[in-house]
Amino acid sequence: MVKILMIEDDSEFAELLGEYLAQFDMKVTNYEDAYLGLSAGVKKFDILILDLTLPGMDGLEVCRELTQKYDIPIIISSARSDINDKIEALELGADDYLPKPYDPQEMYARIQSILRRYSKIKPKQENSTFTVKSNTIYYYEKALTLTPAEFEVLSLLIKNRGITQSREQIINSSTTMSDIKGKSLDVIISKIRIKLDDSKLIETIRGIGYKLV
């Protein structure tokens, strides 16, 4: 799922866009207040849609602050037609500028285009939290103490990060788990989550298997 941070004071507009993008597995989290948007945990999101006319803080200032602190793609979504605003936004580091009103289909196309460019520039970014060396997995440079089965499961999930692995795929790809049952796999996943100290990092896909998010 693509997680989109939106800072837009028109809640109805944000809701309509969010409903449209949801059909493409994109979740929009909107903040009407710029200060709340800045404190929303920007690193959790894949892309930002930013209005310029905001209460309390101009969108260009928000853009400046975010580009100085974070490496997140930014699309400016604004009714302001002054060419100087557009130029300044792009000079500050915004990736695109889409004037309002616009068709949600165009926003979707621009999001897809930007995310494709970012994935080409940083193809290894998604797995940067993990390093696999020999028979050891490092999580944020800290070596994890794993059983052979835990190592095989986590290695497979890291290799296929973002892609759901069925229970059968996980078990059949392992040399240590060929005889285990689904319940045993659940226990192994549970232990890995504890060792990662993050229960949400490995997502359970109901009725299918697991995915490293």
Which pLDDT tens digit goes with each residue over 38-54? Answer: 888 898 899 999 999 99
Q: What is the pLDDT of residue 181?
A: 59
**Residue 173 — pLDDT band, cuts 50, 70, 90?**
confident
Burial (Cβ within 10 Å: 0-12, 13-18, ≥19) of residue 206: exposed
Per-residue model confidence as pLDDT tens digits over 1-27: 889 999 999 999 999 999 999 998 899
Q: What is the pLDDT of residue 7?
A: 96
Q: First-to-last CA distance in the chain? A: 9
What is the pLDDT averaged over residues 67-80?
A: 90
What is the pLDDT averaged over residues 78-91?
A: 89
HSE toward the beta carbon, residue 73, CA cutoff 13 A: 21
Structural domains of the chain in order of their starting residue, each with its CATH number: 2-121 (3.40.50.2300), 126-212 (1.10.10.10)
Q: What is the pLDDT of residue 178?
A: 61
Q: What is the pLDDT of residue 176?
A: 78
Whether the predicted pLDDT of 146 surpasses 80: yes
The three state secondary structure string of the chain is CEEEEEECCCHHHHHHHHHHHHCCCEEEEEECCHHHHHCCCHHHCCEEEECCCCCCCCHHHHHHHHHHHCCCCEEEEECCCCHHHHHHHHHHCCCEEEECCCCHHHHHHHHHHHHHHHHHHCCCHHHCCEEEECCEEEECCEECCCCHHHHHHHHHHHHCCCCCEEHHHHHHCCCCCCCCCHHHHHHHHHHHHHHHCCCCCEEEECCCEEEEC
What is the pLDDT averaged over residues 96-118?
A: 91
